[in-house]
Amino acid sequence: MQHRDGFTSSIGVTLATLGSAVGLGNIWKFPYMTGMNGGASFLLVYILCTFLVGLPVMISEILIGRHVKANAITCYKSLSPKGQPWFLIGVAGVVSAFLIMAFYTEVAGWVFAYIFKSIGLLFVGNGKVDGGAMFTTLVSDPVQSLFWQWFVLIFVGGIIMLGVSKGIEGTVKRLMPILFVLLIIIGVRSMTLPGASKGLEFLFTPDFSKIDFTVVLMAMGLAFFKLSIGMGTMTTYGSYYRDDQNVPLTTLRVMLADLTVSMLAGIAVFPAVFAFGFEPGAGPSLLFITIPSVFDSMPMGGVFQVLFFVLTAVAATGAMLSLLEVPVAFAIESMGWSRAKGTVVTVVLLGLFGAPAALSSSLTADVTFFGLNFFDLYDFLSSNVLMPAGGLCICLFAGWIWGKAAIRKAMSNHGALNTDAISSMFTMLVRFVTPVLILVVLLKGLKIF
């Protein structure tokens, strides 16, 4: 058995887990999905999903990972009874990671493009930034779209190939507090814009008539995407956890911190959306058309804008490192390839597979499957099908195969913590409540029933 690197301090564990969770999901996806699905009522359903589905899946993954101390496929394989294919959870995770990377790199590409455009505007701008026009020009130009996606792929691939991700992750973690503060500053500016109160109303006054199973499926998918669960990333992270780490407490902290970042992003975006008369349901472009207007209305806004997109790029890079590592590690461990070969092959495949997503506002705009273009299809398949299905299997596996006694032992750190009450409740959740919830939402949301 090889010696495995592990996290060395309790706070380090929390920050590293947070490093995978926080990313474009908070800053870009959370606001636009909340905007598209009715605002406050969606937010409420999302929070419910995070508690009833997200936390149980996350705790299961981390406990299992820490117990076996191996990659996701090996974890489920080694705990499953002979002949049962639970390792497929890990295989499905590799597919999910691949699908997510294929569109995530495109959005990260927009962020990088905005850094350079914002810097340019510092020098030649007449003070006016038209976020909408800037976004349309970017995504409707196939050359720019592809260029930025490949730029990101090569950038992240380079980090993974050099094996320096750990060092970079350290930097990511250190810069995150600055992003946090910046989001608060933007939020304050946004909230004090004339007409901003409508945005807060949208975000905090629920209208339950807007909820149906499709909306619930979206909220649940976002919970999976946000916490990086249902696909093996957290199982792998769990394998680096210390044996004396309080797992339920750590996951709760990570979840609350992650939710706080999303809420700050929502508070930065929605008041501005209403103050400037944008469309809350604009979709994936929402952040990119709204935020420049907020900066436009701020003293030194141009400088803040550069800083904002740099920090968003940093957060996205942290999340992408944890994503890309999934298929690369798979290639290395199961094909026996070198790290360099694994990375190059994965990045090239992602470039080919991601290209139609990058071009989905230009050349491939008319190619749709079930009414979804490539970009939306990859997103939908990963967040709304594969990750929930993975989460369902992980709960059933933890509750019924690994079992009550093993959970109790693992959660209490072999008796060191008094977690009996939590572990009984948790076992009930992963055996019955969470799997049934996921299944009903999947079947109803996908209109299978």
Cβ at position 258, least distance to ligand PHE in Å: 8
* 65 touches ligand PHE (CB under 6 A): no
Please identify, using beta-carbon distances, which residue of 43 and 129 lies nearer to ligand PHE: 43
Task: State in angstroms the smallest separation of the CB of 31 from ligand PHE.
Answer: 12
Shortest-Cβ-distance residue relative to ligand PHE? 25
Give the SS3 label for residue 192: coil
Site size for ligand PHE (CB under 6 A): 14
Q: Tokens representing 52?
A: 């009833």
Could you tell me if 187 and 264 are in contact, meaning their C-beta atoms sit under 8 angstroms apart?
yes
319 near ligand PHE, rule: CB under 6 A:
yes
Q: How far is the CB of 206 from ligand PHE (least distance, A)?
A: 23
180/213 with CB nearer ligand PHE: 180
> From CA 47, how far away is CA 122, in angstroms rounded?
39
Distance from C-alpha of 266 to C-alpha of 393, rounded to nearest angstrom = 32
**Which residues on adjacent β-strands are paired with residue 369?**
372
330 binds ligand PHE (CB under 6 A): no
What's the CA gap between 394 and 300, in Å, rounded?
49
Residue 146 contacts residue 102 (beta carbons within 8 Å): no
Token readout for 6 is 């592990």
If binding is defined by CB under 6 A, does position 228 make contact with ligand PHE? yes
CB of 343 to ligand PHE, least distance (A): 17
Structure tokens that stand for 168 in this block: 């970079």
Whichever of 227 and 396 has its CB closer to ligand PHE, that residue is 227
Q: Nearer to ligand PHE by C-beta: 327 or 435?
A: 327
CB of 20 to ligand PHE, least distance (A): 5
Alpha-carbon distance of 109 to 130, in angstroms, equals 19
Let me know: does 346 contact 331? Beta carbons within 8 Å. Answer: yes
Rule CB under 6 A: say whether 225 interacts with ligand PHE.
yes
Binding of residue 25 to ligand PHE (CB under 6 A):
yes
Structure tokens at 336: 């026996």
- Give the residue with the Cβ less far from ligand PHE, 322 or 373: 322
Q: How far is the CB of 227 from ligand PHE (least distance, A)?
A: 7
- Taking contact as CB under 6 A, which single stretch among the options 118-126, 315-323, 407-415, 429-437 is the one that binds ligand PHE? 315-323
Non-local CB neighbours of 356 within 8 Å, separated by 6+ positions: 364, 367, 374
* Torsional sign, CA 363, 153, 318, 377: positive
Any bridge partners for residue 372, and if so which? 369
| Binder among 189, 226, 408, 431 for ligand PHE (CB under 6 A) | 226
Cα–Cα distance measured from residue 445 to residue 216, given in angstroms and rounded to the nearest whole number:
7
- Nearest approach in angstroms of CB 46 to ligand PHE is 13
* 271 is an interface residue for ligand PHE by CB under 6 A: no
Site for ligand PHE contains 327 (CB under 6 A): no
Q: Could you tell me which stretch among 69-77, 119-127, 318-326, 356-364 binds ligand PHE (CB under 6 A)?
A: 318-326
- Min dist CB 366 to ligand PHE, Å, is 29
Residue type, 422: I
Least distance (Å) between residue 276 CB and ligand PHE: 26
Cβ neighbours of 101 (radius 10 Å):
27
Q: Are the CB atoms for 145 and 359 separated by under 8 Å?
A: yes
- Complex with ligand PHE: residue 7 or 213, whichever CB lies closer: 7
| Closest to ligand PHE by CB, 40 or 99 | 99
Please, which residue, 20 or 245, has the CB nearer to ligand PHE? 20
Q: The tokens of 438 are what?
A: 């996921």
Where does this chain touch ligand PHE (CB under 6 A) — which range of 130-138, 222-230, 273-281, 425-433? 222-230
Backbone φ and ψ for 126, nearest 5 degrees, come out as: -95, 20
Task: Give the footprint of ligand PHE on residues 178-217 (CB under 6 A).
Answer: none
Residues from 96 through 135 that contact ligand PHE (CB under 6 A): 100
Beta-carbon contacts of 386 under 8 Å, excluding residues fewer than 6 positions away, are 92, 95, 96, 99, 230, 231
In the complex, the smallest distance separating the C-beta of residue 201 from ligand PHE, rounded to whole angstroms, is 26
Instruction: Return the SS3 of 301.
Output: helix
Per-residue burial over 277-310, b if 16 or more Cβ lie within 10 Å, else e, is ebebebebbbbbbbbbbbbbeeeebbebbbbbbb
**Interface residue with ligand PHE, options 23, 39, 56, 351 (CB under 6 A):** 23
Rounded Cα–Cα distance for residues 402 and 157 (Å): 36
Using rule CB under 6 A, residue 323 touches ligand PHE: yes
Contact positions toward ligand PHE, by CB under 6 A? 20-21, 23-26, 100, 225-226, 228, 233, 319, 322-323
